Amino acid sequence: RLKEIFLRLRFAVEAAAEARIPLCLCGEGAAQPALAEAYARLGVRAFSLPARELLEVKEYLMGVTL
């Protein structure tokens, strides 16, 4: 099931890029550093997450090479 979700998300990211439409991922999933990394690897470059999680996710992603 998770694989299917990521395939659909990749499709959305590619379609948004092709149409030059900004794409932002919102929700608790973006607040989990490992999931935020997975989303970034799919091409998501904008996230909306709870302020209390921002610093942890930012620091985690700054240490990741995409």
Average pLDDT over residues 19-25: 95
Place of tokens 């989990």: 32
Name the burial class of residue 26, with classes exposed (0-12), middle (13-18) and buried (19+) by CB atoms within 10 angstroms of its CB.
Answer: exposed
Band of residue 1 on the pLDDT scale cut at 50, 70, 90: confident
C-alpha to C-alpha distance for 17 and 2, rounded to whole angstroms:
22
Predicted local distance difference test score (pLDDT) of residue 29:
85
Report residue 13 as tokens.
């990211």
Predicted local distance difference test score (pLDDT) of residue 27:
84
pTM: 0.85
pLDDT at 15 over 90: yes
List, for residues 24-61, the tens digit of each pLDDT value: 998 888 899 999 999 999 999 999 999 999 999 999 99
